[in-house]
């Protein structure tokens, strides 16, 4: 089966513009995550969806960042009024949800990422 | 809050040498999971190994082995008989488990270069 896909693979935009990044998770995976990886750093958590709802958005840096997953499958990360500091690789991952109580863990499968460059 | 520290930034070895990548973590969770991921130049994160906090048994899987010690909060990863294809950035990561605790906290990564 297909893995996690992300489009576009590269996005170049100008400061102040609006961008949308798309993630298509593995079919049937109800959990979806967005991470941001700046140059020379490890990925940093942005937001986690369980189904259609954002279960944890504590990693979003400010209100310019927003993500949706209206039908519980494809997710879109939206960035308003982009700044040069937003330049990074945006990674999406999906998984089956773990069992309640934290007694198990399901591996997150990562997509290839979208490289965003804000000029 | 969770934290992962990878003190090594870059390691260079000659092919066939063994190499150990260090990882130290901090968490207040009693149940947690530790991971190693590989990021080759292509950029995609590749899952390598996972360990849960209940199981400190160290294992070997092919050329990979790991040493998990709760007493020192360390989760070190060893590649035996390294190969040029092992050249990549390696990330150690930590998770609190399922649901809202399932997000991964990554270290800054270690760049491994294996020379022929």
Average confidence (pLDDT) over B16-34: 94
Report the candidate in A44, A10, A48 with the shortest Cα–Cα distance to residue A29. Answer: A48
CB B24, CB B5: distance < 8 Å:
yes
Determine the pLDDT at residue A117. 98
pLDDT at A102: 46
Q: What's the pLDDT score for residue A49? A: 94
Residue range B25-48: mean pLDDT, rounded: 92
pLDDT at B59 over 80: no
CB pairs under 8 A between A and B: 83
What is the pLDDT averaged over residues B63-85? 94
Mutate to test the interface with A, among B10, B45, B95, B109 (most CBs of A within 10 A): B45
Q: Are the beta carbons of B45 and A91 separated by less than 8 Å?
A: yes
Residue B16 has which token pair? 């066939």
Lowest mean pLDDT among A43-47, A62-66, A106-110, B91-95: A106-110
pLDDT number for residue B1: 82
pLDDT tier, B113 (very low <50, low <70, confident <90, very high otherwise): very high
Nearest Cβ partner of B104 from A101, A108, A111?
A108
Nearest to B102 among A42, A105, A109 (CB): A105
pLDDT in tens, A2-58: 899 999 999 999 999 999 999 999 998 999 999 999 999 999 999 999 989 988 999
Q: Which residues contact A11 (CB under 8 A, 6 or more apart)?
A: A19, A21, A114, A115, A116, A117
Please give the residue that has the higher pLDDT: either A104 or A117.
A117
Q: Do B47 and A40 touch (CB under 8 A)?
A: no
**Cβ <8 Å between A89 and B103:** no
Q: What integer pLDDT is reported at residue A106 of this predicted model?
A: 76
Residues of A whose CB is below 8 A from B44: 110-113
pLDDT score of A101:
46
pLDDT at A98: 57
User: Half-sphere exposure (CA, 13 Å, Cβ side) for A107?
Assistant: 14
Q: Which pair of tokens denotes residue B73?
A: 């909060």
Q: How far is CA B63 from CA A63, B71, B81, in A?
A: 45, 25, 7
Residues from chain B that touch A67, judged by Cβ atoms under 8 A, are: none
Mean pLDDT, range A83-97, rounded to an integer: 93
Q: Which range, A55-59, A114-118, B31-35, is most confident?
A: A114-118
- Residue A107: pLDDT above 90? no
- Taking an 8 Å cut-off on Cβ atoms, the answer to whether B103 and A45 are in contact is yes
Neighbour tally for B31: CB within 10 Å: 18
pLDDT at B75: 95
The whole-number pLDDT of residue A63 equals 95
Mutation site, B10, B24, B104, B109, interface A, largest A CB count within 10 A: B104
Q: How far apart are CA B75 and CA B35, in angstroms?
A: 9
Checking if the pLDDT of B96 tops 90, the result is no
Contact residues, chain B, for A44 at CB < 8 Å: 106
Alpha-carbon gap: A104 to the closest alpha carbon of chain B (Å): 6
CB contact under 8 A, B44 and A110: yes
């Amino acid at each position: 089966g297909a893995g996690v896909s992300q489009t576009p693979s590269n996005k170049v935009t100008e400061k102040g513009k609006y961008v949308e990044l798309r993630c298509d998770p593995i079919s049937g995976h109800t959990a979806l995550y967005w991470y941001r990886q700046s140059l020379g750093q490890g990925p940093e958590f942005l937001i986690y969806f369980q189904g259609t709802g954002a279960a944890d958005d504590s990693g979003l840096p400010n209100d310019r960042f927003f993500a949706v997953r209206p039908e519980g499958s494809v997710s879109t990360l939206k960035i308003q009024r982009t700044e040069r500091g937003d330049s990074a690789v945006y990674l999406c991952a999906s998984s089956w949800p773990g069992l309640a109580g934290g007694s198990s863990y399901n591996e997150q499968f990562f997509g290839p990422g979208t490289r965003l460059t804000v000029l | 809050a969770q934290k992962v520290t990878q003190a090594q930034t870059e390691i260079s070895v000659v092919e066939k040498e063994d190499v150990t990548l260090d990882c130290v973590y901090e968490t207040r969770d009693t149940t947690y999971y530790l991971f190693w991921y590989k990021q080759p130049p292509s950029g995609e994160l590749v899952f390598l190994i996972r360990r849960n906090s209940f199981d400190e048994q160290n294992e070997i899987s092919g050329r990979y082995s790991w040493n998990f010690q709760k007493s020192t909060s360390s989760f070190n990863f060893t590649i035996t008989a390294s190969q040029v294809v092992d050249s990549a950035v390696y990330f150690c990561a930590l998770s609190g488990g399922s649901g809202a605790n399932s997000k991964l906290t990554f270290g800054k990564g270690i760049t491994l270069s294996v020379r022929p």
